[in-house]
Structure 1
Amino acid sequence: MTTNSLHSIAAWRGRPGPSGIPSICTAHPMVIEAAMRATLPTALPLLIEATCNQVNQDGGYTGMTPADFRRFVEDIAARTGFPLARLILGGDHLGPNPWKHLPADQAMAKAEVMIRDYAAAGFTKLHLDCSMGCLGEPVALDDAETSARAARLAAMAEAARPKDGIPPVYIIGTEVPVPGGALEEIEGLEVTGPEAALTTFAVHRDAFAAAGLADAFSRVIGLVVQPGVEFGNHNVVDFDPEGAAALCAALPAMPGLVYEAHSTDYQTRDALHALVQDGFAILKVGPGLTFALREAFYGLDAIAEELFPGRRVQTLRAAMEGVMLAAPKNWDKYYHGTDAERALQRHFSYSDRIRYYWPEPAAVQAVTALFDLLGDRDLPETLIGQYLGGLYPDVRAGRLPPRARDLALAAVDRVTQDYIAACVD
């Protein structure tokens, strides 16, 4: 039986090599490809995660089951030349959240099927999140019920995992907004208190023991806490090491564990490095990557209109506006203000809820039309400077080919490099 490479992550800071790992939370093929290309020359494994809303037995918003997602990622790895031995697949917020509108017994039965499918498909990093109330329950459950339900899901994962495969590691704790993002603007955050972190650890340890899952609990490697980082539609809350000092001081009392930081999107490279050095060794990023890709798409969209005005039925941006207006459920309750303000948020919000729409057939068609129009030709440096200014220096220096696909991948690579630099000193 092979050891999970993340099992020893708590000891990484004390030895040569990486001190942490980025967690790439996306199902966009170009983001995954860019992350593979960025990670390949480093000493890091590549951790790619799917969420419960994104991938589940019912298809999620991507239409993929866990087995589908594994094949999807492995196909990209084959095209990119990324070795499967360095690939780690994770499941995020695995629990009843997609079905919380149902009574708890039904929602948990669905969650059991989901985590069974994740484990059976060879996902080896599993975040157990049963903190949300179901139909008729409080919005947030107490620690005892949350941990008991988490242990129930861990038992299912242990029973379903391939016996000759890599044993999964587990993440516990849920002190973050629900998967999909917060409904409100972010004005301030309360950092998780050290007592709360220690209590979460203790109640889960006891719940696992009561369920006969001591071996599974020995593979709990991380605790999700709120370090004081988040983003809203228009703003980013930056990491303040002083504000998280007490929380960080509690980590040695939980041997073998690191903290997992969610919503680290849009943090500066220095802030990401500080998070890793303070024990937040797993850095989740998702919307920040698709936001960068959308920026590149829209820059290329503008370049296409300069070079080939009127050659398409509509621009990519116009197509995406139509796609989002036709199916508002993924943005309507999250974006507020006047019609003009909501229109701006649909395309440019940090929450990047446009990411839910890229798999839609009309969106795929519009992106394909854009790239077909631009083809493999070299785009004018002056237009790259105008519409993709952040990439201009590398184009000007000859480090980056001035072609559409290379530019889009490079936009994601720039963000990914911040995470790699934070984790590899």
Structure 2
Amino acid sequence: MAEPDDTAGFAPHPLRRALLGELHARPFLPVETPRTFLHYGFTTDEEAAAADRAWFAEFCRAHGSAGPNAETRHHVLAFGGGALRWESHAEFTTYTWDGRAPSPVGAPFAHRREGSPFGRDFRAPGPLIVATRLDLVDADGGCSFDELFDAASLVASEIIGGGLIAATDFRSDGDGLTRILVVNRGETPQNAGAACQRLLEVETYRMLALLGLPEAQCQAPLIRRIETGLSEITAEMRTSAGLDANEALLQRLTQLAAELEAGAAASAYRFGASRAYDEIVSQRLAALGERALAGRSTWANFLARRLRPAMRTCETTVERQGNLSRKLARAATLLRTRVDVELESQNRNLLEAMNRRARLQLRLQQTVEGLSVAAISYYVVGLVGHLFEGAEKAGVPLSPGLAKAVSVPVVVLVIWYLVRRIRAHHSDTE
């Protein structure tokens, strides 16, 4: 009787299946000794990765197997007496094929691998970044590391508790492949497969981590130019005076800040990815559990001498970008403060000048109002005089001169009152 499903009736999270499968996405496959691995890595963007997924799915169907679906990022296909492993990552795609070494075995790397999928029909998904051949051989083969590798950069060490020896010189051979030799001293197929996969990952992530170095070298001249420009501006700030001079310095400083932020934004992903890849290399080497061979450098020591300086260059570039950005921000804040002070001083002077003009206008207005009252009163008194002259001629016993004299204060008061009312009305409407 089947056990009841305790999750029945629960709506699963859309990412639950992918998260459950992530821990098992790239399992270590057991391999028998002797074995040859061909490993290729290609940089791919989103469009190229989608096209490669479609091609590989069709490739799998052509060889009688189901291909990866839209969510799968790892797939293994039986091919040519071995296994073809396809892996899709954020910015690169890898193909790894392993097959039995030709018989008789002979010296490592002596035979070209026939029957691999990397022939004319293979479609490269993007620019090649990693190309590696790994030969897994028995310990009784009698091979000499000095005959197979460049002694100047040869590294060799015991791994997996001494059950395997891994050697390489990190150089490309005549076929453009970096060669890795793994000598099996009797290790199990499971451990041998896991070690070979980790060694291939070390080579892959080593190359990807180094992609940050050219970006750091490209950013270095820009950072130096901005640092020089900032030094010149801060020196000029000590003697600059006036709004125009400070605004010109602020404009130059803003331009430098914009250039720095554009460069930092363009390189942020590359430096972050290089840092992550470098950490993966360290983790893979730690998992191998290296032990030094007499007179040989270990993988970790060699990469510490060669890879670590490159990573430190990237880290230093990021630190310089951050420090320079903060210095630019402080200098810009100082300049903006000086510009604001200059603007406030100019505004204060402008307001004082406006107040002086307003007082002058008020005095002029009051003078004009007084003159207006006198002029209007003069004309009104004249009209009143004409009225009284006409009344005298009509027989009214009234002296026109006396009547005009008496009307003067009355007319002036009335005109003054009316002018005040009009001015008060205009003030209320404003």
TM-score when normalising by structure 1: 0.24
> Larger Rg: 1 or 2?
2
> Using CA pairs below 8 Å that are at least 6 residues apart, which structure has the higher relative contact order?
1
User: Which structure features the higher share of strand residues?
Assistant: 2
TM-score by length of 2: 0.23
